[in-house]
Each structure stands twice: as structure tokens, then as C-alpha cells.
């Protein structure tokens, strides 16, 4: 299930964890409401905040180290073309309701519909969304919902941390003394605000795409993907309506046979 912890993403993950706990420590060390509550014995909010930070870190590692849906083997004996990308190979022959299977031109494994080869991970990924350098892993069928949950928890942590930082700003006679006494906290607040904005945009875009039952790759490369370029500009063969799309994404576990959904022959789980 999990990849090697000490792989290429070790430095990124270590930096993420160190930055998270350094910011948390700064919020406790400055004269914020968190520190005041701790000093007066009101430990409910400080403990909840630390637990929420811990949950965000655990979710980060889960999404980062989880198998996103790598295709590692197959037993079929199908024709394939070396060096031809997913976008260039036709999966859907024109004017017929049958599927032309294909193999990846790089790892030579059979690709189910909506999968794509990631050159960074060097594997094909089921229901490929994108490769995220933040987590040093692909976002795909198995970890996409956990990635969205991580973004939601991370956004909550960042907004709460920003509020805590705001309560720690003190007053001073001039801007230079104020900057000397509040400079570190100001830097933390700016960083939290920027990160919150990025995470908010990411979370919003992913929820929007999920409600349409499309992926980032499909949304950005629609004109090149063989099973979508035959459709109209506003047509999505996988769309079942926002509520059913969201329900299927968050509540239905297992691999979907997207070929069946594409041809409206059912959506049996495998």
C-alpha cells in the first residue's frame, strides 16, 4: 500500500512536517489567545488545535505514501505501439460501441479507461488526476478522496492558525518597535494567508471537477484524449449529475469499470 518513505519525496515531506510544527510552536510561544488559554488552564482549544494539526500531518503522509492506483500487471495479450502516448492512441473506434484496448507505450501494461502514465512515478495510474509535487505522489483513483479530505482539513488548520496569529499582535509606539516585537508573527500570518489561499483554490477546483465527474488531466487535455475528443464541448460521458457524482466519489469504494459507464451499460464495481 505504501511506497518507500525514504524515496525522492523524503526532503519534501520532512520540510512540510518541520514547517507545520515550527509554525504551531510559534503560535504557542507568542502572546496569542492559544498561549493565554494554556496559561490559564483552559486547554480545550489548544488541545483541539494540536490534534487538528496532527490529523492534517497524518492525512498528508497517508496521501503522500499511498498507492494512488498504480497499474502493476495484467494478463491480457493485446497489441500495443511503442512510444505512443495515451492521448494519441484511440480507445474508441468511430461509429461503434466497442472498446479498442491499448497498452501503455512506456510500461507496456494494459490501460483501463481514464488511466494515464505518470513519467515522474513511472507507472500508469487508474483514474489519473495529476502528479502533485506537494505530496510527491500522483493523485488517482485510490487516494483522490483522501487528497480532497486532506485539503479540507489543511484549510481549516490554516484559517484557525491565521486567526490565532491575529490575536497575538501587540501595540507599540511606532511601526519599527511594532515590527520588532511582531515581525515573526507577521511573517507567520502572511505565510498562513498565502497557503490558505492556495489550498482554498485547490479545494474549490477539485470539488468542482468532482461534481462534474472529471479529472484535472481530462479537464486540461480534453481535446487530446481519444475517448473525450469525439464528444461535444459540453458533453461528459461520465457525468451523472452533481449529487450522484459527489456520492460516487466520496461514498463508493472500489474500482469502477469506466468503459461500462462510458457506453451506459452499467457501472458495476470490480
**Whole-number CA gyration radius for the chain:** 23
User: What positions carry a catalytic annotation?
Assistant: 132
Extract the C-alpha cell encoding 155.
484549510
Mention every residue, 6+ apart, whose C-beta is less than 8 A from residue 214. 236, 238, 239
Rounded to a whole number of angstroms, the distance between the first and last alpha carbons of the chain is: 18
Q: Are 241 and 213 in contact (CB under 8 A)?
A: no
| Cβ atoms of residues 186 and 194 within 8 Å | no
Amino acid at each position: 500500500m505504501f511506497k518507500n518513505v525514504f524515496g525522492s519525496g523524503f526532503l519534501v515531506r520532512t520540510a512540510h512536517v518541520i514547517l507545520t510544527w515550527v509554525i504551531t510552536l510559534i503560535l504557542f510561544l507568542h502572546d496569542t489567545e492559544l498561549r493565554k488559554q494554556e496559561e490559564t488552564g483552559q486547554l480545550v482549544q489548544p488541545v483541539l488545535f494540536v490534534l487538528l494539526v496532527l490529523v492534517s500531518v497524518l492525512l498528508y503522509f497517508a496521501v503522500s505514501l499511498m498507492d494512488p492506483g498504480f497499474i502493476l500487471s495484467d494478463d491480457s495479450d493485446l497489441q500495443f505501439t511503442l512510444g505512443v502516448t495515451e492521448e494519441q492512441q484511440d480507445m474508441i473506434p468511430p461509429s461503434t460501441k466497442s472498446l479498442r484496448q491499448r497498452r501503455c507505450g512506456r510500461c507496456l501494461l494494459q490501460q483501463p479507461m481514464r488511466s494515464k502514465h505518470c513519467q515522474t512515478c513511472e507507472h500508469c495510474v487508474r483514474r489519473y488526476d495529476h502528479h502533485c509535487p506537494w505530496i510527491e505522489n500522483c493523485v488517482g483513483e485510490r487516494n483522490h478522496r483522501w487528497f480532497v479530505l486532506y485539503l479540507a482539513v489543511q484549510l481549516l488548520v490554516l484559517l484557525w492558525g491565521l486567526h490565532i496569529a491575529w490575536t497575538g499582535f501587540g501595540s507599540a509606539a511606532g511601526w519599527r518597535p511594532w515590527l520588532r516585537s511582531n515581525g515573526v508573527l507577521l511573517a507567520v500570518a502572511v505565510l498562513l494567508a498565502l497557503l490558505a489561499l492556495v489550498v482554498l483554490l485547490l479545494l474549490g477546483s477539485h470539488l468542482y471537477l468532482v461534481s462534474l465527474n472529471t479529472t484535472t488531466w481530462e479537464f486540461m487535455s480534453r481535446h487530446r484524449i481519444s475517448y473525450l475528443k469525439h464528444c461535444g464541448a459540453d458533453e461528459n460521458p461520465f457525468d451523472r449529475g452533481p449529487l450522484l457524482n459527489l456520492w460516487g466519489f466520496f461514498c463508493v469504494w472500489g474500482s469502477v469499470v469506466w468503459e461500462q459507464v462510458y457506453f451506459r451499460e452499467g457501472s458495476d464495481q470490480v
